[in-house]
Amino acid sequence: MAVFADRQEVTLLSTLGIEIVETGRERVVARMPVAPRVHQPFGILHGGASVALAETVASTGAWMNVDQASERVVGVEINANHLRAKRDGIVTAVATPVHVGRRTQVWEVRITDERGKAVCISRCTLAVVPAAGEGAA
Protein backbone atom coordinates (compact mmCIF):
# COMPACT_ATOMS: atom_id res chain seq x y z
CA MET A 1 0.00 0.00 0.00
CA ALA A 2 1.63 3.21 -1.13
CA VAL A 3 0.02 5.74 1.21
CA PHE A 4 2.92 8.18 0.99
CA ALA A 5 4.43 6.98 -2.31
CA ASP A 6 4.64 10.53 -3.65
CA ARG A 7 6.57 11.63 -0.52
CA GLN A 8 8.57 8.52 0.26
CA GLU A 9 11.28 8.10 -2.36
CA VAL A 10 14.13 8.20 0.17
CA THR A 11 12.90 8.48 3.75
CA LEU A 12 13.39 6.62 7.01
CA LEU A 13 10.50 4.36 5.98
CA SER A 14 12.34 3.15 2.89
CA THR A 15 15.67 2.98 4.75
CA LEU A 16 14.20 0.69 7.43
CA GLY A 17 12.02 -1.26 4.98
CA ILE A 18 8.76 -0.21 6.63
CA GLU A 19 5.71 -1.19 4.59
CA ILE A 20 2.31 0.26 5.47
CA VAL A 21 -0.23 -2.48 4.75
CA GLU A 22 -3.50 -1.09 6.16
CA THR A 23 -4.72 2.42 6.83
CA GLY A 24 -7.85 3.80 8.38
CA ARG A 25 -9.13 6.29 10.90
CA GLU A 26 -9.32 3.60 13.63
CA ARG A 27 -6.39 1.31 12.76
CA VAL A 28 -3.07 1.40 10.90
CA VAL A 29 -0.86 -1.63 10.29
CA ALA A 30 2.73 -1.73 9.04
CA ARG A 31 5.45 -4.36 8.79
CA MET A 32 9.21 -4.10 9.07
CA PRO A 33 11.82 -6.77 8.34
CA VAL A 34 14.26 -7.49 11.14
CA ALA A 35 17.74 -7.85 9.65
CA PRO A 36 21.19 -6.34 10.27
CA ARG A 37 20.19 -2.87 9.02
CA VAL A 38 17.82 -2.49 12.02
CA HIS A 39 20.01 -4.30 14.59
CA GLN A 40 21.88 -2.82 17.50
CA PRO A 41 25.53 -3.94 17.92
CA PHE A 42 24.56 -7.19 19.69
CA GLY A 43 22.50 -8.48 16.78
CA ILE A 44 18.96 -7.78 17.96
CA LEU A 45 16.30 -5.31 16.86
CA HIS A 46 17.34 -1.77 17.81
CA GLY A 47 14.85 -0.04 20.11
CA GLY A 48 15.11 3.08 17.96
CA ALA A 49 13.92 1.12 14.92
CA SER A 50 10.89 -0.07 16.91
CA VAL A 51 10.18 3.52 17.96
CA ALA A 52 10.48 4.71 14.33
CA LEU A 53 8.01 2.01 13.30
CA ALA A 54 5.65 2.97 16.14
CA GLU A 55 5.74 6.67 15.28
CA THR A 56 5.15 5.84 11.62
CA VAL A 57 1.89 3.99 12.25
CA ALA A 58 0.70 6.47 14.91
CA SER A 59 1.42 9.43 12.64
CA THR A 60 -0.27 7.76 9.70
CA GLY A 61 -3.39 7.09 11.76
CA ALA A 62 -3.43 10.66 13.07
CA TRP A 63 -3.05 11.99 9.52
CA MET A 64 -6.08 9.92 8.47
CA ASN A 65 -8.11 11.86 11.06
CA VAL A 66 -7.31 15.44 9.99
CA ASP A 67 -8.19 17.66 7.05
CA GLN A 68 -5.24 16.63 4.89
CA ALA A 69 -5.52 19.73 2.71
CA SER A 70 -5.06 22.17 5.59
CA GLU A 71 -3.56 20.25 8.54
CA ARG A 72 -0.55 18.12 9.36
CA VAL A 73 0.37 16.02 12.39
CA VAL A 74 3.71 16.09 14.17
CA GLY A 75 5.03 13.93 16.97
CA VAL A 76 5.19 15.58 20.39
CA GLU A 77 6.03 12.64 22.65
CA ILE A 78 6.58 8.91 22.30
CA ASN A 79 7.39 6.21 24.81
CA ALA A 80 8.17 2.57 24.27
CA ASN A 81 8.55 -0.53 26.39
CA HIS A 82 10.77 -3.11 24.69
CA LEU A 83 9.45 -6.47 25.85
CA ARG A 84 11.13 -9.15 23.75
CA ALA A 85 14.33 -9.38 21.71
CA LYS A 86 14.01 -10.09 17.99
CA ARG A 87 16.92 -11.18 15.75
CA ASP A 88 15.28 -11.81 12.39
CA GLY A 89 11.97 -12.17 10.62
CA ILE A 90 9.19 -9.59 10.51
CA VAL A 91 7.56 -7.38 13.12
CA THR A 92 4.08 -5.97 12.68
CA ALA A 93 2.88 -2.71 14.25
CA VAL A 94 -0.80 -2.01 14.86
CA ALA A 95 -1.82 1.50 15.91
CA THR A 96 -5.20 2.36 17.41
CA PRO A 97 -6.42 5.74 18.68
CA VAL A 98 -6.76 6.45 22.39
CA HIS A 99 -7.80 10.10 21.87
CA VAL A 100 -8.58 12.02 18.68
CA GLY A 101 -9.04 15.69 19.47
CA ARG A 102 -8.97 18.88 17.43
CA ARG A 103 -5.39 19.78 18.38
CA THR A 104 -3.90 16.59 19.83
CA GLN A 105 -4.13 12.87 19.25
CA VAL A 106 -2.83 9.95 21.30
CA TRP A 107 -2.24 6.55 19.68
CA GLU A 108 -1.33 3.19 21.18
CA VAL A 109 0.97 0.94 19.16
CA ARG A 110 1.52 -2.76 19.66
CA ILE A 111 4.48 -4.33 17.81
CA THR A 112 4.42 -8.13 17.60
CA ASP A 113 6.43 -10.94 16.05
CA GLU A 114 5.16 -13.55 13.60
CA ARG A 115 3.61 -15.57 16.44
CA GLY A 116 1.71 -12.56 17.80
CA LYS A 117 4.02 -12.20 20.81
CA ALA A 118 4.56 -8.63 21.99
CA VAL A 119 7.96 -7.15 21.08
CA CYS A 120 7.23 -3.52 21.97
CA ILE A 121 4.32 -1.46 23.31
CA SER A 122 4.31 2.27 22.60
CA ARG A 123 2.16 5.37 23.05
CA CYS A 124 2.57 8.40 20.79
CA THR A 125 1.14 11.90 21.27
CA LEU A 126 0.80 14.06 18.15
CA ALA A 127 -0.09 17.71 17.62
CA VAL A 128 -2.40 18.80 14.81
CA VAL A 129 -0.89 21.87 13.15
CA PRO A 130 -1.73 24.06 10.14
CA ALA A 131 -0.21 22.92 6.83
CA ALA A 132 0.87 26.48 5.97
CA GLY A 133 4.60 26.88 5.61
CA GLU A 134 5.14 23.24 4.61
CA GLY A 135 8.68 22.72 3.45
CA ALA A 136 10.12 25.44 5.70
CA ALA A 137 12.91 24.41 8.02
The catalytically annotated residue of 19, 26, 55, 77 is: 55
Please give the distance of CA 76 from its chain centroid, rounded to a whole number: 13
- Integer Cα distance of 133 and 78 in angstroms: 25
Active site residue 71: no
Query: What is the rounded distance in angstroms from the CA atom of residue 45 to the CA atom of residue 33?
Result: 10
Q: Which residues are catalytic?
A: 55
